[in-house]
Structure 1
Amino acid sequence: MRFNRLDLNLLVALDALLAERSITRAAERLNLSPSATSNALARLREYFDDELLVQVGRKMEPTPRALGLEESVRDVLVRVDSAIAIQPRFDPTTSDRTFRIFASDYTQLVFAPHLLALASEERCAARFDFLPQVSNPQRSLERGEADLLIIPRGFLSPDHPHEVLYAETFMCVVWRDGRMARGLFSRERYLDAGHVVMHPQGGVGSSFEDQFVMRHGVARRVAVTSYGFAMLPALVVGTDLVATVHARLARQLQAAWPVELREPPLEFPVMEQGIQWHKYRSQDPGLVWLRKLLRQAVTRMDAGLC
């Protein structure tokens, strides 16, 4: 199909080339040969009268024109996928769909088991792919690489619909035989201690409790960082370090590690855990079903059912 003399299949190739910045990797993504992908790039360069990708050392870098096209091309492809590829009805018992869900390891440990138990009760044949935690999940949603985000409300994008699933508080975790487990767990002792914190993959961004601390001008001495939440309680064992962890996760992991829980000496706000989906997929029957199941999973979680 052509539009204004442009073969629209070339937009798919352009999207892959801009995402991968490599002819070889783009070819693998497109299931084409490198020569066919190189030919597609040549046709794109001719149409746009721009190099689009130029070799810089061993890498290919996009030109300003290509950078200006990147988000627009992705938006067009997401619109087409939403309008054409989504089935008009969704039957969980026969669907071969894969739901791609961005969720932290905290969410997968505390909440996802209830979701999957409900899906099993419905004899769901669809698959669930939990994507690794990164510092900018909204980009995955925009690019159509994730169907759903499950993240704190404060991190949700203003450009897409969302709803709040449940509220979460925080607890401090300390080694039960350590100095921090003895005596008053005061604000001063908390701030003087070394802390174990989570930082998302990618080297930028921060967690909910980390942002709260920074906003209030409180300095914590970070002794250990990890890319996930689930290991934080384990990392305080044998030390006088402190980890500030989601309360549900802290209580769940208390049985697995020799730790004790303390109320935070700072007034941490309640975290609202939200879900977000792409604005073009609000009427997607599969996602409508999934969002309903997520709400049911909250009820199941709060009832303490496994």
Structure 2
Amino acid sequence: MDTVDLNLLPALDVLLAERSVTRAARRLGLSASAMSRTLARLRAATGDPLLVQAGRSLVATPYAEALADRVRGLAREARAVLSPAAAPLDLAALERSFTLRANEGFLARFAGPLTARVTQAAPRARLCFAPKPDKDAGPLREGPVDLEIGVAGVAAPEARAQLLFRDGFVGAARAGHPLLDGPITAERYAACRHVVASRRGAAAGPVDHALAERGLSRRVVAVVPGFPDALRIAGQTDLVALVPGSCFDGEDPLTRGLRRFDLPVRTPPIAVSAIWHPRLDADPGHRWLRELVMAVCRPPAAGAATA
């Protein structure tokens, strides 16, 4: 490969990250003039200016912006390939903070058991549970989030995903609710007043599409951010909640006084997965965390796996 200088790859990675010849030179231990010469070689190799002057700073060209993520991944892979093999993971000495992003329903069901397992196996490790206001893939790509729990989507097509369990929607109403007095038909269900959980504030969902096919619609009178909020309201009113079946697994105080019932219409199953960026595939600590999450989630959710 005498026509390609792979030493340019980490230099390009740092230049695109810093957007400054001076700062890039400092990070790589080079002089500013040597970094300028490297930038000139990169421009010649790529046929693109890459970074251009804008006032007192440098801005990336569209081509450089498009390259940034690929270059970052290639540089990491190159460093990993040319580094000594990692030593066996010593959980007793592991001092590391792992950030998991998940919704309130997952935290209510699994945060306690997962924390207990981590504390027992790696007493110096720390779990940081972050809220999940949206499906933005930025935190996974950029590093603030190590593992996301949820439904795999297209926001980050390069992300890895491993199925934790399958879930399905069920209805929830307070004990003694009139709906529970007889057969729960689609007509009786639709005639109730409803509370809906939606991060985006959407009142309609899959159950509404299924009802519409029968010429029915439900009256949604409250929209809340998360499933625990919906359960609280259902427990204190005559509103009917729509929640994943896993909300009723275990001894969650939120479900006391509530009755679960099967929906009178079919809704698509929910595939809940652990999602991470491929840069962490081979990381021993991250692999251990993934396996632990799998162990904690799968056995308790076995009853909902066929939903």
Provide the rounded CA distance (Å) in 2 between the counterparts of 1:67 and 1:130: 36
Match for residue 151 of structure 2?
152
Q: Aligned partners of 1:136 and 1:72: how far apart in 2?
A: 23
Rounded Cα–Cα distance in structure 2 between residues aligned with 1:250 and 1:238: 17
Which of residues 233, 242, 245 is equivalent to 2:243?
245
SS of match in other structure, 1:159: coil
**Structure 1 residues 107 and 71: CA distance shift in structure 2, 3 A:** farther
| Alignment partner, residue 278 of structure 1 | 277
Match of 2:223 in 1: 225
State the superposition RMSD in angstroms: 3.9
**Equivalent residue letter for 1:227:** P
Q: Is the 8 Å Cα contact of residues 51 and 61 (structure 2) preserved in structure 1?
A: no
Q: Which one of 225, 234, 237 corresponds to residue 232 of structure 2?
A: 234
Aligned amino acid, residue 49 of structure 1: V
Q: Bigger CA drift: 157-166 or 65-74?
A: 65-74
The alpha-carbon deviation at position 140 of structure 1 amounts to 2.1
Q: Could you say what secondary structure the match of 1:129 adopts?
A: strand
SS at match of 2:93: coil
Query: In the comparison of the two structures, how many residue pairs are matched?
Result: 258
1:122-201 correspondence runs (5 A): 122-153=121-152, 157-200=156-199
Counterpart in the other structure of 1:60: none
State the secondary structure of the residue aligned to 2:139: helix
- State how far apart, in whole Å, the 1-side matches of 2:95 and 2:139 are: 22
Give the one of 44, 49, 52 matched to 1:49: 52
Q: Which amino acid aligns with 2:51?
A: F
Q: How far does residue 104 in structure 1 lie from its aligned partner after superposition?
A: 1.1
Q: Aligned to 1:150, what secondary structure does the other structure show?
A: strand
Q: Which residue in 1 is equivalent to 2:102?
A: 103
SS of the aligned residue for 1:145 comes to coil
C-alpha displacement of 1:211 = 4.7
2-structure distance, mates of 1:285, 1:182: 54
1:28 matched residue in structure 2: none
Q: Quote the Cα distance in structure 2 between the aligned partners of 1:215 and 1:50.
A: 53
SS in 2 for 1:230: helix
Residue matched to 2:206: 212
CA gap of 1:153–1:220, structure 2 versus 1, over 3 A, is farther
Overall identity of the aligned pairs, in %: 23
Structure 2: any 5+ residue segments left out of the alignment?
1-6, 21-48
Maintained 8 Å contact 2:51/2:64 = no
CA distance in 2, matches of 1:183, 1:67: 63
Contact preservation (8 Å) 1:175, 1:258: yes
For 1:178 and 1:287, the matched residues in 2 are separated by 46
Relative to structure 1, the CA distance from residue 263 to residue 154 in structure 2 (aligned partners, 3 Å threshold; closer, same or farther) is farther
Query: Any unmatched runs of 5+ in structure 1?
Result: 16-45, 53-62
Residues 50 and 61, structure 2, Cα contact 8 Å, conserved in 1 = no
Distance 1:159 1:69 in 2: 20
Which amino acid letter does the alignment assign opposite residue 163 of structure 1? Q
Question: 1:213 Cα deviation (Å)?
Answer: 3.3
Judge which range, 188-197 or 159-168, deviates more.
188-197
Matched residue type, 1:175: R
